[in-house]
Amino acid sequence: MAMTTRVVLTYRDYAALPNDGRKYEIHEGELSVTPAPGTRHQQISRNFLVALDAYVSARRLGEVLDAPIDVILSDTTIVQPDIVYVANDRRRGLTSRGIEGPPTLVVEILSPSTIEIDRHTKSQLYARHGVPYYWIVDPEACSVEVYVLAEGGYRLSTRAAGDESLRAEPFRDLVLTPDSLWR
C-alpha cells in the first residue's frame, strides 16, 4: 500500500510563486488559488478603503492597507485580505515582507469564487491566529457583518444592510452605511 505524504508549503514556497494575476495564499501549508477579483468587487473595495483610511488617518490610529498585501500569520499561513487595518499598537508587524502577525482588522469582500473560503476557512484561520475583528462585506446581500473574536472563535457583533447605519468595533465613532459602498 502506497502512503501519500502531505507537502506543507511555507513562506519560502509562497515567495517563489509566479506573479500571474491569480491570488495565491497558503492556508496552514495548503495552496489556495483564486482568480483575480472582478470590477464590482474592486469598486466596493476602493469605496471601503477610502472611508476607512479617511477615518483612521484623520485620527492617526494606524494604517489601512488593501490587497495585494501579504499577511503572514505563520510560516505556513499567508493570506491576502481585501482590506487590513493595523492599529498603532500592532505597527511593529509592518515589515518589508508585509504584515507579520495578526492585524487588528481584516475585511473580506465576498466574490462567487471566495464565499466558502472567506466564510469558513479564513474565518477559522483569522480566529486561530488572533485577529480581533473580522468584517465580511456581502455585495449580493448589500450587507456588512462585523465579527469579534471571543473564546477562540468569532461571534457576530452587528450586521447592517442597505441604508442602515453601521457602528462597529474597532472604530468607536465611525458610521458607515452599506449602500455607500456600492456606489
pLDDT, tens only, 121-135:
999 999 999 999 999
Which CATH architecture fits 38-182? Answer: Alpha-Beta Complex (3.90)
First to last CA, the chain: 58
In the chain, the percentage of residues whose pLDDT exceeds 70 is 98
SS3 at position 51: helix
Compute CA 171 distance to the chain's CA centroid, rounded to the nearest angstrom: 16
Residue 37: asked if its preceding bond is cis (omega within 30°), the reply is: no
* C-beta of residue 15 within 8 angstroms of C-beta of residue 93: no
- Which residue has better confidence, 53 or 4? 53
> CA-to-CA distance for 112 and 115, rounded, in angstroms?
6
Task: State CA 80 to chain mean position distance.
Answer: 7
**Cα radius of gyration rounded to whole Å, the chain:** 16
- Residue 135, beta-bridge partner list: 107, 146
User: pTM for the full model?
Assistant: 0.91
11 — pLDDT class (breaks 50, 70, 90): very high
Q: How far apart are CA 65 and CA 68, in angstroms?
A: 9
- Per-residue DSSP letter, 88: G
Q: What is the separation of C-alpha 1 from the centre of its chain, rounded to a whole number of angstroms?
A: 42
Give residue 7's pLDDT band: very low, low, confident or very high (50, 70, 90): confident
Helical ranges in the chain per DSSP H: 11-15, 39-59, 115-116, 122-128, 178-182
Percentage of the chain exceeding pLDDT 90: 75
Between the ranges 1-15, 128-142, 163-177, where is the mean pLDDT highest?
128-142
> Average pLDDT for residues 149-159, to the nearest whole number?
93
